[in-house]
Structure 1
């Protein structure tokens, strides 16, 4: 909810992000860790900046609610879920060609060290390296 507040300037009551779980009434089920930008209500700061100036470009590197985001560049953790139950590290990257560029330069996103009991600095290093690269190549 903090990231949604920072990107919209709205309170959780206004932007709708109050936790990491969502109760979908039409399905009668709770889904955790949804990532789509449409879950966040309200205008995002890069949308306001773009509306004010057509010369504006924006990037989002590893903030949540990034799927379908209206930024020019988006990079966010997004595992691949295999039919046999395995989960492989990956990232959702737009534009798509940037995905292979980042993986070629910095390796696959270190998903399993991003949070939880195995968290370490390697995921932060990857994020910083990716951010620096995006600033150099897409600004």
Structure 2
């Protein structure tokens, strides 16, 4: 229960990239007022060349500026499941229920993997559908 190293040391050991000293509230306001903007956070192999040198900042900026634009990007399609699947409702003992409390359809536009599982643990059967699903697909799903 006592830490053996700092949070920064633990994150570095786990290979987690982090940034600090950023006013996230100001950043959120800025993006809300001005819209999506390109940005880059470079670390690891992207920040250090094989010979151990760091690339010049203008090269990193060029990499950000030449990245594909967000406008019109199908971001939901990139993170969505390819095929529909069902997460069965579970009882308090963790066993599947014969009759769920409810049946719902969830169109995956970036749903967290644990969300359907948490719903299932509460007795809800979840039909997860891909982002490409139509209203007819949702209507056909066995849901309440």
TM-score interval, normalised by the smaller of the two chains: under 0.3
Bigger proportion of residues as helix: 1
Q: TM-score, normalised by structure 2?
A: 0.24
Higher fraction of strand: 1
TM-score by length of 1: 0.25
Bigger radius of gyration among the two: 2
